[in-house]
């Protein structure tokens, strides 16, 4: 996909297969729509008055309107003029991108980013647009006997004034990189679990390192994991014939001066299939447990974005990956395992396995002396009950880190909500036989899961993102979303800007 800008002064002479303009409710036209209406002798106003509801997300196509060089003019509803927000602009661009893909359009131009809104500058608006268009062209066809028809959309431009081009170009570059990272995360999530194994995730990390010179990949096998005394992680892995992989993907910026700051570490849960182990999950919907590695997928996708943008900060992605299956060698309720930190864990439920692999990865992260560690995991069904499929759950005791991540989530339109992490919840993890239990019972299940992880993060600022409700769509729409790549990428962009 090629993203660009155009500053053609006379809009009606612009040749493209689709030219998008905004329309407000009460018949108010955006400046671009008004210019096209004048060039067409009032054709736009006539149609708007007779058949177009300019509510946010609505669109209407005018084919070959007289006096306009574009093959189609796409009217995009923006709601009330005094209530325009970046979210409404994003919704309009989603509708535009979906139409272009559906209609087989190969070139498109949007005038909407030129419109000012109070909650997003031009760079933000351009970044979001490029990300949404990139997402629209994603197609999964890897395991079909016949490939799906290729998406024809190959060129998307923003119509702007000359003074706006530089900021928009920055946003487009960032958005395209974020979109590519999201689509990688979606692909990894969508692949079947007999393809996307821990070994496959390791190969993906190595492939990224070959593609981008700032990345270096290391994949530790079982013997090396054993040498690190990751007893908690390995206890989950031993239930499957698939070998585990511990992946470290490190971005070292090309600018030497940018390597001085302490690194930021991302940790992603990589359970490539979760049957629940001995604490077996119900059969209906178990196929969706291939998505239990979406935390890992989002970390790999974010690292792809980081490398493409060559962010001026050392960023490290860590992925502990294995399967969680029932077998004669699998964890049993009542087992006690020793983590890399030396702390012992009583396993009361083998389906609470994500925390068992993440805790060793969080201990491993200490060696990098990080400025911050953020783990990402489809960790608890309780988080879905609490927040549904809108917000990812954010847990941290660090108010500065929380504020930065929440600001990034709003800016990226990838929302998160801060959840409690009070010390009183820790009591629910008490065990009669080990330093802690791996579950705290049904009450506050997402909170006690985060409390468990917090016990391994005392040496650095840490945050946990529970994406169980946001990483994939269920049912007939079953597919990975690529979240929270936009949030993570926006956070890292913000940290890099703060340093420079």
Determine the Cα–Cα distance for residues 106 and 29; give it in Å rounded to an integer.
26
pLDDT of 336:
98
- Give SS3 for 149: coil
| pLDDT over 90 at 318, yes or no | yes
Hey, which residues does 156 pair with through a beta bridge?
A: 3, 108
Q: Is 148 a residue of the active site? A: no
Q: Is 167 a residue of the active site? A: no
The answer, yes or no, to whether the previous bond of 49 is cis (omega within 30 of 0) is no
Q: How many CB atoms lie within 10 A of CB 475?
A: 7
pLDDT of 179:
98
**Would you say 479 and 462 are in contact if contact means Cβ atoms under 8 Å apart?**
no
Question: Starting at the edge strand that comes first in sequence, how are the strands of the sheet with 436-437 ordered?
Answer: 336-338, 344-346, 436-437
pLDDT of 257:
67
**Would you say 91 and 136 are in contact if contact means Cβ atoms under 8 Å apart?**
no
pLDDT of 302:
99
Determine the Cα–Cα distance for residues 333 and 331; give it in Å rounded to an integer.
7
The active-site residue, picked from 186, 355, 455, 483, is 355
Residue pLDDT, tens place only, 260-281: 899 999 999 999 999 999 999 9
Residue labelled with tokens 């609490």: 386
Q: Read off the tokens for 21.
A: 């303009």
pLDDT of 498:
74
Across 208-220, average pLDDT: 98
| pLDDT over 80 at 259, yes or no | no
* Polymer length of the chain: 500
Q: What is the DSSP string of 173-225?
A: HHHHHHHHHHHHHHHHHHS-TTTS-HHHHHHHHHHHHHH-TTEEEEEE-HHHH
Q: What are the structural domains, with CATH classification, of the chain?
A: 2-157 (3.40.220.10), 182-499 (3.40.630.10)
Band (500; pLDDT cuts 50, 70, 90): low
Across 289-312, average pLDDT: 98
**pTM tops 0.95, yes or no:** yes
**Angular region, 324: left φ>0, alpha ψ -120 to 50, beta rest:** beta
Q: Read off the tokens for 183.
A: 């689509």
| Share of residues in the chain with pLDDT > 90 (%) | 96
The active-site residue, picked from 203, 281, 410, 478, is 281
Band (255; pLDDT cuts 50, 70, 90): confident
Band (499; pLDDT cuts 50, 70, 90): low
| pLDDT over 90 at 472, yes or no | yes
Across 365-373, average pLDDT: 98
Across 436-442, average pLDDT: 97
Q: Which of 26, 27, 45 is nearest to 36 (CA)?
A: 45
pLDDT of 354:
98
Across 198-210, average pLDDT: 98
Determine the Cα–Cα distance for residues 127 and 166; give it in Å rounded to an integer.
13
Q: Read off the tokens for 473.
A: 């769509």
Q: What is the DSSP string of 244-307?
A: PEEEEEEE--SSGGGGSSPPEEEEE-EEEEE--TTSPPPSTTGGGGGGGGHHHHHHHHHHHHHH
Residue pLDDT, tens place only, 179-198: 999 999 999 999 999 999 99
| pLDDT over 70 at 300, yes or no | yes
Across 107-119, average pLDDT: 97
Across 328-346, average pLDDT: 98
Q: Read off the tokens for 331.
A: 């964890």
Determine the Cα–Cα distance for residues 322 and 357; give it in Å rounded to an integer.
9
Across 381-396, average pLDDT: 98
Band (497; pLDDT cuts 50, 70, 90): confident
Phi, psi of 45 (to 5 degrees): -60, -40
């Amino acid at each position: 996909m090629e993203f660009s800008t155009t500053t053609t002064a006379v809009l009606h002479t612009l040749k493209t297969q689709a030219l998008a303009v905004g329309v407000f409710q009460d018949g108010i036209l955006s400046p671009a729509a008004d210019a096209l209406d004048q060039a067409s002798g009032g054709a736009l106003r006539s149609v708007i008055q007779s058949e177009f509801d300019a509510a946010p997300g609505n669109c209407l196509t005018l084919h070959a309107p007289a006096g306009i060089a574009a093959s189609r003019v796409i009217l995009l509803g923006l709601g009330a003029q005094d209530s325009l927000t970046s979210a409404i602009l994003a919704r309009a661009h989603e509708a535009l991108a979906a139409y272009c893909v559906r209609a087989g359009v190969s070139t498109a131009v949007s005038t909407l980013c030129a419109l000012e809104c109070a909650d997003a500058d031009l760079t933000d608006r351009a970044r979001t647009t490029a990300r949404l268009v990139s997402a629209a062209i994603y197609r999964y066809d890897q395991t079909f006997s016949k490939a799906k028809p290729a998406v024809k959309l190959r060129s998307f431009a923003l119509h702007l004034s000359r003074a706006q081009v530089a900021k928009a170009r920055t946003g487009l570059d960032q958005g395209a990189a974020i979109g590519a990272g999201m689509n990688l995360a979606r692909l990894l999530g969508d692949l079947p679990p007999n393809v996307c194994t821990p070994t496959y995730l390791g190969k993906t990390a190595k492939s990224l390192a070959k593609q981008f010179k700032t990345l270096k990949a290391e994949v530790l096998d079982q013997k090396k994991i054993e040498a690190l005394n990751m007893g908690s992680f390995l206890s989950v892995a031993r239930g499957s014939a698939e070998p585990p992989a511990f992946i470290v993907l490190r971005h070292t910026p090309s600018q030497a001066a940018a390597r001085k700051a302490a690194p930021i570490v991302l940790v992603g849960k990589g359970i490539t299939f979760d049957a629940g182990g001995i604490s077996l999950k119900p059969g209906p919907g178990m196929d969706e447990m291939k998505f239990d590695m979406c935390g890992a997928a989002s970390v790999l996708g974010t690292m792809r974005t980081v490398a493409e943008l060559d962010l001026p900060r050392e960023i490290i992605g860590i992925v502990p990956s294995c399967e969680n299956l029932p077998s004669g060698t699998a964890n049993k309720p009542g087992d006690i395992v020793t983590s890399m930190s030396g702390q012992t864990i009583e396993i009361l439920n083998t389906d609470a396995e994500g925390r068992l692999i993440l805790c060793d990865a969080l201990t491993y992260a200490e060696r990098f002396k990080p400025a911050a560690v953020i783990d990402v995991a489809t960790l608890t069904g309780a988080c879905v009950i609490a927040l549904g499929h809108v917000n990812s759950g954010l847990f941290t005791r660090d108010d500065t880190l929380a504020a930065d991540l929440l600001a990034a989530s709003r800016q990226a339109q990838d929302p998160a909500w801060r959840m409690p992490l009070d010390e009183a919840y820790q009591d629910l993890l008490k065990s009669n036989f080990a330093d802690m239990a791996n579950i705290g019972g049904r009450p506050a299940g997402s909170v006690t899961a985060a409390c468990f992880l917090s016990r391994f993060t005392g040496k650095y600022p840490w945050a946990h993102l529970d994406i169980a409700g946001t990483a994939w769509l269920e049912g007939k729409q079953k597919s990975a979303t690529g979240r929270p790549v936009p949030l993570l990428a926006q956070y890292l962009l913000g940290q890099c800007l703060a340093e420079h």
